[in-house]
A = this chain, B = another copy of it.
Amino acid sequence: MKRKDWLELLRLVGNINRSLDLQDVLRAILEEIREVTASEAGSVFLLDEEKGELQFYTVSGGAESTLQAYRIPLEKGVVGYVARTGEAVILNDPHQDPRFLRDLEKQTGYTTRNLMAIPLIHKGRRIGVAEVLNHREGPYTAEDLEVFRALGEMAAVAIQNARLYADLERLFRESLRALVAAIDARDPYTAGHSERVAQYALWMGEELSLSREEQHQLELAALFHDIGKISIPDAVLLKAGRLSEEEYHLIQSHPERGVEILRHIRQFEPILPAVRHHHERWDGQGYPDGLAGEEIPLFARIIAYVDTYDALTTDRPYRRGFSPERALQILQENAGTQLDPGLLPVFRRVFPRMAGEDDA
């Protein structure tokens, strides 16, 4: 390779670190390994130690860039061999090698002329295998393998970084859910409420084709919508009888109290309006600010739907929960007064999932 090519290679490999999202990282690796090794196709296999399987990712050659994922058992094929032994393999005549899986070839209809496979190793641990197929010019050489190995080292690091980030995200999410669930559980009638509302809101967000970032924020806002209730005394929050006017005002202060708890955290700024306004009404008769129509932030209008739905369908001290169908009917009756009528079709589309009628 020429100096120019090496410099280009150096640039290319940098791309696999450009994201901390595992899907992006895998996609970049799949592109780079084909490009760098002049191959028609490439695959990455990640080891699932618990299940003794390899999770298989590939992008078919050419313009198609759909990331496909399969699972294959660890004992199978050339890739299984590399995963088990940690040895790199070049096969320039794969059909003569007993490790080569002819079955897979039949399934995919893809003919393999030659291949290279290397273990992906991170801090001494095997985390998977990378494979390239069909060199565009002749057989694979030891030099090709060397470059592939260097790229593989970086790929392993990029994969682990993405996993570390995903682990921290999961920890963050699960911790918040656990704390919010504990807070909800003070009132047996609201146990699980915030978590369900977060899930339902997320479904509506998906249905509305919100961006991933927006979906994430909507979910957080929904998870936290009632967090202000933590500072309302049991005597008021759990009171079975009729509330005095003062007690009623206290309950109604929970959106503002929620904002008070969250507002010191810079990253929560985007969700504060949704927390503050989730009890506004489309007709302007809600609280705390009496906003009406589209003055009410979209996320707050979404949460109003799913919050009301969950309240209707769960038992209360004074009544049994309504059936999902009856709750839907009530929401329909309230679209245009309490609720944004524009969101009703969106809610209806997500409704079967909330009602558990759709297991898809």
CB of A210 within 8 Å of the partner chain: no
Nearest Cβ on chain B to A328's Cβ, whole angstroms: 32
Chain B residue contacts of A3, Cβ below 8 A: 1, 143
A343 beta carbon closer than 8 Å to chain B = no
A251: Cβ under 8 A from any B Cβ: no
A243 CB–B CB distance under 8 Å: no
Contact of A360 with B by CB under 8 A = no
Which residue among A182, A186, A233 has the maximum number of chain B CB atoms within 10 Å of its CB?
Answer: A182
CB-CB < 8 A to A240: which residues of B? none
A:143-157 near B, CB below 8 Å? 143, 146-147, 150-151, 153-154, 157
Q: Assuming the A-B contacts A179-B179, A183-B230, are A161 and B265 also in contact, with contact meaning beta carbons closer than 8 angstroms in the complex?
A: no
Name which of A1, A146, A158, A171 has the most chain B CB atoms within 10 A of its CB. A171
| A18 x B227 contact (CB < 8 A) | no
One of B13, B14, B147, B182 near A227 (C-beta < 8 A)? B182
Asked whether A174 and B227 contact (CB < 8 A) given A157-B18, A164-B165, the answer is no
A22, chain B: closest CB distance, angstroms = 13
With a cutoff of 8 Å between Cβ atoms, the chain B residues found around residue A151 in the complex are 10
Residue of B174, B231, B264 touching A185 (CB-CB under 8 A): B231
| CA–CA, A334 and B7, complex, Å | 67
Closest residue on chain B to residue A11 by CB atoms? B150
How far, in whole Å, are A10 and B11 apart by their CA atoms in the complex? Answer: 10
Contact of A168 among B18, B169, B227, B230 (CB under 8 A): B169
Residues of the B chain whose Cβ atoms lie less than 8 Å from the Cβ of A235:
234-235
Min C-beta distance of A329 to chain B, whole Å: 35
Q: Are A178 and B261 in contact (CB-based, < 8 A)?
A: yes
Q: Is B1 a contact partner of A154 (Cβ separation < 8 A)?
A: no
Q: Give the Cβ gap from A25 to chain B, nearest Cβ, in Å.
A: 11
Give the distance in Å from the alpha carbon of A265 to the alpha carbon of B231 in the complex: 25
Instruction: Give Cα distance in the complex from A185 to B268, angstroms.
Output: 20
Indicate if A17 sits at the interface (CB-CB under 8 A).
Answer: yes
* Cα separation A14 to B32 with both chains bound (whole Å): 15
Closest to A265 in B: B174
Please name the residue on chain B nearest to A258 by beta carbon: B182
Q: Does A65 contact B (CB under 8 A)?
A: no
With an 8 A cutoff between CB atoms, is A175 at the interface? yes
Known: A13-B10, A165-B165, A234-B234. A172 touches B172 (CB 8 A): yes
Question: How far in angstroms is the closest Cβ of chain B from A222?
Answer: 15
Whether the pair B178, A176 counts as a contact (CB closer than 8 A) is no
A20 within 8 A of B: yes
Most chain B CB within a 10 A radius of its CB, from A3, A146, A161? A161
Q: Closest residue to A262 on the B side, CB-wise? A: B178
Known: A179-B227, A262-B178. A17 touches B171 (CB 8 A): no
Query: Do residues A1 and B7 form an inter-chain contact, with CB atoms below 8 A?
Result: no
Sample 12 A-B pairs with CB under 8 A, ordered by A number.
A6-B9, A7-B147, A10-B13, A10-B150, A10-B151, A10-B154, A13-B13, A18-B157, A171-B265, A174-B265, A176-B179, A182-B231
Residues of A within 8 A of B (CB): 1, 3, 6-7, 9-11, 13-14, 17-18, 20, 143, 146-147, 150-151, 153-154, 157-158, 161, 164-165, 167-169, 171-172, 174-176, 178-183, 185-186, 227, 230-231, 233-235, 261-262, 264-265, 267-268
Sorted nearest first, the 4 A-B pairs with minimum C-beta distance are: A234-B234, A14-B154, A10-B150, A6-B6
